[in-house]
Amino acid sequence: MSFFTGLRCSLCHEPFSATALYVCDKCLGPLEAMYDYDGIRGAVTRELIEARPPNLWRYRELLPIEGRPRTGFHSGWTPLIRADRLARELGLRELYIKDDSVNHPTLSYKDRVVSVAATRAVELGVTIFGCASTGNLGNSVAAHAARLGLHCYVFIPHDLEPGKVTGSAVSGPHVVAIEGNYDDVNRLCTQVGDRYGWGFANINLRAYYAEGAKTLGFEVVEQLGWRFPRHLVSPVAGGTLLPRIGRGFRELRDIGLVGGELPRIHAAQAAGCAPVVHALREGLEHPEPVKPDTIAKSIAIGNPADGYHVLRTVRETGGSGATATDSEILDAVGLLARTEGIFTEPAGGTTLAAAMHLIRDGVIAHDESVVICITGNGYKTADAVGGGLRPPVRLGRSLAEFEAFVAGRHDVHQQVGDA
């Protein structure tokens, strides 16, 4: 049974039917999904959700589809990891990593939003499924399209990391590299969607796509034993994820599955592309577009489609924003791997480095619980960090040569002595 009742304008609240529309024709505001919350309150319990398979469809009553899920049967329900060694480094008492770097099938948070957009695309009869991507979205759209047998077009800026391009191309879509930045790609795809009627996950299907991001927030609450953390730090690119985590928290509270104060939600951006954090600092209602220049390419969006909603969510929850330079980003990628064994891409390093600024500035207090969202996988962008690492020691094959090497290493003697 579906409780999805249609779309409405997120700014002027004008109602719209549940088809592939994406902006309000009255005020140009983005559309958002609506539900019969009274019905959901009567039908959904913690026990019902807990009894379901560990994927994002365990929250299906709060997702905008009419029939059954078509893809994403292993997407979502990523680990929430208590990160005590990292916590000690940061001077925190209770720290968790929400690890979407191991999402299925394409190792980023995008598998959540694409599972929902692709299912809805099938319901709406879309046959050509595409996206404008900074890399991870293309990977996920290509993979889910392959599984569903949809024709697929992935549009990317021409200068993406090779690992990201391969991750899309391997599933057999048409990959179209545009000579321009992400914002140019997005503008072109808007025109293509209008002209040819194709379904673009993050453009004309955005109202459905965005709802998939709520599931990250749902999972954090359930994985904490149905309670809220005090703080959550989220990266911001186009601005889908952060406000939907906030919406997910509010929905769970409104349908009676969790009580208590809503978490403070903080925005993390790279210093080389921080339109939202600048708008927070300057008190603007809408971010001013910037030209991106950062190694965190998956979050290098200078003109965020949902910037307004990010700003509203951060302000309403008492959150804040912080930026990280490219060298801070790389340091944070290394710190996360050395303390917790999690290899994230520069976007994840950005989130951790921004969280460290918020702790140092006293915005996050040492005795308050914190969730840091790690949204992408470092194996896709290994070249971005390789340069700063200790190179392998190269030796011949004899034990004698190894013994000569070990003789100079005090840490090894210590370990052997302890054993």
Looking at beta carbons, which residue is closest to ligand PLP?
Answer: 376
Sign of the C-alpha dihedral, residues 297, 303, 305, 311? positive
- Cα dihedral 309, 310, 314, 320 in deg (nearest 10): -150
Least CB distance to ligand PLP at residue 348 (A): 7
In Å, how far are 79, 125, 145, 191, 204 from 195, measured between CA atoms? 41, 17, 21, 6, 12
Stretch that binds Zn ion, among 4-12, 107-115, 135-143, 328-336 (CB under 5 A): 4-12
Q: Nearer to ligand PLP by C-beta: 57 or 109?
A: 109
- Pairing verdict, β 95-99 and 80-82: antiparallel
Stretch that binds Zn ion, among 3-11, 62-70, 191-199, 332-340 (CB under 5 A): 3-11
Site string for Zn ion, 8-47 (x = CB under 5 A): -x-xx-x---------x-xx-x------------------
Distance CA 66, CA 64 (A): 7
- Pairing verdict, β 31-35 and 4-9: antiparallel
For residue 182, give both structure tokens.
Answer: 């992400």
Least CB distance to Zn ion at residue 30 (A): 9
For residue 288, give both structure tokens.
Answer: 């001013």
Q: Does 404 bind Zn ion (CB under 5 A)?
A: no
Interface residues with ligand PLP (CB under 6 A) are 108-110, 136, 235-241, 298-299, 345, 347, 375-376
Residue 376 contact, options ligand PLP, Zn ion, none, Cβ 5-8 Å cut-off depending on partner type: ligand PLP
Least CB distance to ligand PLP at residue 267 (A): 9
Least CB distance to Zn ion at residue 207 (A): 13
Maximum pairwise Cα distance, the chain: 79
Q: SS3 for 99?
A: strand
Residue 26 contact, options Zn ion, ligand PLP, none, Cβ 5-8 Å cut-off depending on partner type: Zn ion
Cβ proximity of 364 and 355 under 8 Å: yes
What is the amino acid identity at position 329? I
Q: Nearer to ligand PLP by C-beta: 173 or 235?
A: 235
Binding site for Zn ion (CB under 5 A): 9, 11-12, 14, 24, 26-27, 29
